[in-house]
Amino acid sequence: MSRPTSLSKGMLLSLFAALALTLMPLPDEVSPARPYWVALVLIYWNLEAGRLRHLGQAFALGLLLDLLTGTLLGQHALSLIVISYLTERFRNRLRFFPPWQQAAAIMALLFNDRIVQLWVVGLSGDAWPPWTWWLAPLVGLLLWPWVFLMLDRLRQYERLQKT
Amino acid sequence: MNFPAGAWSPATGGDQAARTARLMVYGLLATILMVFDYRGGYVSEIRGRTVVLVEPVLLAVEAPFAFGRRLGEELRTRHELQDRIALIEQQLRTREAALMMLEEFESENAELRRLLEASRRVEVAFRAAELMSIDLNPYSHRVLINRGRRDGLEEGQPVIDADGVIGQVDQLARNSAHVILISDPDHALPVRVRRTDLRTVAYGTGQINSLRLTDLPMNVDLEPGDVLITSGLGGLFPPGLPVAEIRTVTRQAGEAFARAEAKPLGRLDRARHVLVVATYSSVTDEGVDAASDAMESQPQDAGPDSIVEDAEATP
């Protein structure tokens, strides 16, 4: 029915929403703890729908994110391909975890990503991020069930429309 | 419900190996991109071009927040607004009085310069801009302003707020521009100490509230509280704009140079309204000489300071 690699309207919508949420202004105190929206959406589509699973797609998405946020070109690309690779690698296991365990695994993924990004930040000579920066995976953990439910609903709705 | 009909079959061993190889290739590609972008060359140029492409997305995300802010202003009470107008009018009067004195000085200065046959001072014009609400990566030391190529901005133009220098225009799109802050680790700004006329270079540290001066002689006459102003060397920043205030001076025994730390006067993290400075006349002869001096005295360990090379040192 749905071809695994095709871009659907719902997916584009969710990606745009993730980009918008990433750029959304937040107060300075909490902005370092901003969850990695694009990664959450990417993980969802890979895990549940088997779409957006090509590393090339993750790479392109990362570059777009770099351009939008004015980051060193390639930083988010690197972080997203690592996430995409790991999700794919443990996909079969992750899918059958109970929800809370799955959320914990997502947090581990996001935490790993923080380390990858810290490596880039450290090498490019930027300031060490504040401690709130490490809260982002935790926020991701708390948000995961909601992202999951919302995107599931979106996908279901889309499927109903198609038939 | 999570099992779509066309579910993709699990990866086999060979597939996995191919995927690992692809990860390596993409990882390498990302690393190469980062290195080139850091060095500032081709990739930075490409990036400058693509900023134009992603601009619509930025503007689309910005629009509702700009509207919200506007709405908030609309909803202010009349009373509040009147208070504010009164305050601003009062400020305007004091400024005008100060300006009258300055005009007197200016004509006197022009007269003296004519007598000395010195070159004319640099003419400047200010263009007001507002920071966009969009959050960029907080570690990139860049902000977005709502003026762009269409408003006649050019790359490298200084950006200041009411208290001092904030940064300079880096990448230009049609209706917006990236501003690189002076606190960016890649940024270097030729400055002068107002009290002693000592010329040096202030580097960004990556921390929003601090700049560092590294190549100072050990016997330098510098004290906490000294104000740094732009020296005008390099030709991009007009001379005399306040930059920072010295916080600490350290003379470590055994080191060849003294170091100092300075606190930027401009409110890098909080400014909402900024001014972009356009410089009209070219650099004076004296300025060119001094700029080449400054270029020679650049420290060896300046690293890949693309801003220094591209924008500052070359007049």
φ/ψ (deg, to 5) at A54: -80, 140
B27 chain-A contacts, CB cut-off 8 A: 78, 81-82
Q: Does B13 contact chain A (CB < 8 Å)?
A: no
What's the confidence (pLDDT) of residue A39?
92
Residue A46, token pair as written in the block: 């890979």
DSSP annotation of B131: B
Q: What is the largest CA-CA distance in chain A?
A: 54
C-alpha dihedral over A141, A147, A153, A159, to 10 degrees? -110
Backbone region of residue B254 per phi and psi (left: phi > 0; alpha: psi in -120 to 50; beta: other values): left
CB contact under 8 A, B34 and A73: yes
Residue A53, token pair as written in the block: 């699973």
What's the confidence (pLDDT) of residue B2?
42
What's the confidence (pLDDT) of residue A161?
80
B53 chain-A contacts, CB cut-off 8 A: 67
Over residues B10-27, the pLDDT tens digits come to 445 667 788 888 888 988
Residues 287-306 of chain B with CB under 8 A from chain A are 303
Percent pLDDT > 70 in chain B is: 81
- Check: CB of residue B252 under 8 Å from CB of residue B273: no
A23 chain-B contacts, CB cut-off 8 A: 58, 61, 134-136
B142 chain-A contacts, CB cut-off 8 A: 70
Nearest CA in chain A to B171: A70
Question: Which of the four pLDDT bands, split at 50, 70 and 90, describes residue B119?
Answer: low
CB contact under 8 A, A85 and B20: yes
A62 chain-B contacts, CB cut-off 8 A: 30
Over residues B52-99, the pLDDT tens digits come to 788 888 888 888 888 888 888 788 778 888 898 999 999 999 999 999
CB contact under 8 A, A73 and B33: yes
For residue A60, give Cα distances in angstroms to A52, A76, A150, B186. Answer: 11, 10, 24, 26
What's the confidence (pLDDT) of residue B234?
77
Our CA-based measurement puts residue A69 at a distance from the nearest CA of chain B, in whole angstroms, of 4
What's the confidence (pLDDT) of residue B308?
41
Q: Does A2 contact chain B (CB < 8 Å)?
A: yes
φ/ψ (deg, to 5) at B251: -115, 95
Residue A33, token pair as written in the block: 């703890």
| Separation of alpha carbons B296 and A30, rounded Å | 44
Average pLDDT by stretches of 10, chain A with 163 residues: 59 88 80 88 87 86 87 88 90 85 90 89 75 88 89 86 74
Whether residue B7 has pLDDT greater than 70? no
- Contacting residues for B52 by C-beta, under 8 A, at least 6 apart: B173, B174
Alpha helices in chain B (DSSP H): 13-39, 42-74, 78-116, 285-296, 306-307
What's the confidence (pLDDT) of residue A81?
92
For residue B5, give Cα distances in angstroms to A128, B9, B72, B248. Answer: 47, 11, 49, 67
Closest CA to B181 of B159, B148, B152: B159
Please, which contacts does B298-305 make with residues 24 or more away whose CB atoms are closer than 8 Å?
B298/B201, B299/B214, B299/B215, B301/B214, B302/B188, B303/A125, B304/B38, B304/B39, B304/B40, B304/B186, B305/B186, B305/B187, B305/B188
CB contact under 8 A, B27 and A82: yes
CB contact under 8 A, A4 and B34: no
Q: What is the average pLDDT score of chain B?
A: 78
Nearest CA in chain B to A56: B26
Our CA-based measurement puts residue B235 at a distance from the nearest CA of chain A, in whole angstroms, of 26
Q: Does B138 contact chain A (CB < 8 Å)?
A: yes
Helices A99-123, A75-89: axis angle to 10 degrees equals 150
- Out of A103-112, A124-133, B29-38, B265-274, pick the least confident: A124-133
Residue A44, token pair as written in the block: 């969802």
- Considering only the beta carbons, identify the residue of A23, A28, A63 that sits closest to B134: A23
| Separation of alpha carbons B182 and B167, rounded Å | 5
What's the confidence (pLDDT) of residue B243?
92
Q: Does A26 contact chain B (CB < 8 Å)?
A: yes
CB contact under 8 A, B32 and A74: yes
Map residue B14 onto helix, strand or coil: helix
Q: Which residue has the higher pLDDT, A9 or B229?
A: B229
A59 chain-B contacts, CB cut-off 8 A: 26, 29-30
CB contact under 8 A, B140 and A64: no
Question: Which of the four pLDDT bands, split at 50, 70 and 90, describes residue B6?
Answer: very low
B1 chain-A contacts, CB cut-off 8 A: 152, 156
Closest CA to B213 of B314, B306, B302: B302
CB contact under 8 A, A82 and B11: no
Question: Which of the four pLDDT bands, split at 50, 70 and 90, describes residue B246?
Answer: very high
| Separation of alpha carbons B315 and B309, rounded Å | 10
Question: Which of the four pLDDT bands, split at 50, 70 and 90, describes residue B291?
Answer: very low
- Check: CB of residue A59 under 8 Å from CB of residue A81: yes
What's the confidence (pLDDT) of residue A30?
79
At position A125, the amino acid (one-letter code) is: G
For residue A103, give Cα distances in angstroms to A97, A110, A142, A146, B308. Answer: 9, 10, 8, 11, 46
As a 3-state breakdown, chain A gives helix, strand, coil percent values, each rounded to 5, of 75, 0, 25
What's the confidence (pLDDT) of residue B244?
92
Chain centroid to CA B19: 42
CB contact under 8 A, B27 and A53: no
Strands of the B142-145 sheet, one edge to the other: B124-130, B273-279, B158-160, B165-172, B177-181, B142-145
Question: Which of the four pLDDT bands, split at 50, 70 and 90, describes residue B122?
Answer: low
CB contact under 8 A, B135 and A24: yes
| Separation of alpha carbons A45 and A31, rounded Å | 25
What's the confidence (pLDDT) of residue A38?
92
Q: Does B26 contact chain A (CB < 8 Å)?
A: yes
Question: Which of the four pLDDT bands, split at 50, 70 and 90, describes residue B307?
Answer: very low
CB contact under 8 A, A127 and B47: no
CB contact under 8 A, A48 and B7: no
Question: Region B154-182: what's the mean pLDDT?
Answer: 88
